[in-house]
């Protein structure tokens, strides 16, 4: 009985996830001129390529797509690197009050992002960082560090201290211990943290619409919002084609590295 209920529950969750995806794809296929105004459950023509081209070129999704790819890859990698160094300092280095530093860094995940918007907007306007790629990348890195630090630090605490002690006896510096021992051993956790941060940066809308306004600087989620406003009169097929474009990178990254991701999460949470 319990197994049957579990299978039904899982099947229901899968169905709830697949139905919106199915509707997105079917309605993105529909030609704009043939759209009736209500969601179609069966394909009504095939204009996917035309809708994708309109969303990519005419609506400006392509430029924002490349900007978001830059933000997600560079900021995700930079945040993971900073988080790994911070975790190494808290766990391995003989610093005073390591628990204090852990909670100080981890507290970045405890506060709602909305509380930072007003001071950030004022600071960015005064510092000429508003509507710049550098300004957006700085906030993305700072935002992504705390959770990546949490994941990496959790796995680092499981590593036996004898490894570090043996390396120090052999004359290795802390820098060498970090790059030659800890980084290779933490590869799965670093990868899992990167996938988390890549997805978070890619899906960001809040900072994108608050700290930018230029199409060549805006992330793709902000551009998708603009697309929704600009093409509302022509019907959803172009908007849904843009949403299809936007959803592909995170799906590809997760499906490609799902094994590495699961190993990293398991190592970081056990």
Distance CA(222)–CA(212), nearest Å, equals 9
CB 214 within 8 A of CB 85: no
Mean pLDDT of 61-79: 90
Phi then psi for residue 234, to 5 deg, are: -90, -5
Residue 232 reports pLDDT greater than 60: no
Residue 255 reports pLDDT greater than 60: yes
Provide the pLDDT for residue 186. 84
Distance CA(214)–CA(43), nearest Å, equals 36
CB 26 within 8 A of CB 42: yes
pLDDT tens digits, residue range 122-168?
Answer: 888 888 899 899 999 999 999 999 989 988 888 888 888 888 888 88
pLDDT-derived band at 117, boundaries 50, 70, 90: confident
Distance CA(73)–CA(131), nearest Å, equals 19
Distance CA(220)–CA(231), nearest Å, equals 16
Mean pLDDT of 180-197: 87
Cα torsion through 262, 264, 265, 269, rounded to 10: 140
Distance CA(63)–CA(216), nearest Å, equals 6
Domains in the chain with CATH codes? 1-46 (no CATH), 62-269 (1.10.3720.10)
pLDDT tens digits, residue range 5-37?
Answer: 788 888 888 888 888 788 778 777 777 666 666
What distances in angstroms separate CA 61 from CA 24, 51, 83, 224, 246, one per listed residue? 17, 12, 31, 7, 8
Provide the pLDDT for residue 29. 74
The more confident residue out of 41 and 250 is 250
Between 21-30, 166-175, 196-205, 245-254, the lowest mean confidence (pLDDT) is in: 21-30
Cα torsion through 149, 151, 154, 159, rounded to 10: -90
Q: Indicate the average pLDDT of the chain.
A: 82
């Amino acid at each position: 009985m319990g197994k049957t209920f579990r299978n039904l529950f899982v099947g229901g969750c899968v169905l709830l996830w697949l139905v919106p995806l199915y509707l997105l794809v079917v309605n993105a296929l529909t030609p704009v001129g043939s759209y009736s105004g209500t969601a179609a459950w069966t394909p009504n023509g095939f204009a996917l390529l035309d809708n994708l081209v309109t969303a990519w070129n005419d609506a400006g999704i392509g430029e924002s797509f490349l900007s978001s790819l830059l933000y997600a890859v560079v900021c995700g990698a930079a945040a993971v690197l900073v988080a790994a160094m911070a975790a190494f300092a808290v766990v391995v280095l003989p610093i005073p009050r390591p628990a204090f530093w852990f909670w100080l860094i981890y507290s970045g995940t405890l506060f709602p992002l909305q509380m930072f918007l007003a001071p950030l907007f004022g600071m960015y306007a005064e510092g000429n960082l508003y509507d710049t790629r550098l300004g957006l990348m700085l906030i993305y890195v700072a935002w992504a560090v705390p959770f990546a630090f949490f994941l990496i630090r959790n796995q680092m605490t499981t590593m036996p201290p004898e490894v570090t002690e043996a390396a120090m006896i052999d004359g290795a510096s802390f820098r060498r211990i970090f790059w030659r021992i800890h980084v290779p051993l933490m590869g799965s956790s670093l990868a899992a943290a990167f996938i988390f941060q890549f997805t978070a940066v890619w899906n960001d809308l809040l900072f994108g619409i608050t700290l930018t306004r230029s199409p060549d600087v805006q992330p793709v989620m902000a551009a998708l919002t603009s697309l929704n406003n600009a093409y509302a009169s022509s019907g959803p097929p172009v908007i849904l084609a843009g949403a299809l474009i936007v959803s592909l990178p995170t799906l590809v990254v997760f499906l490609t590295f799902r094994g590495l991701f699961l190993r990293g999460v398991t190592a970081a949470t056990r």
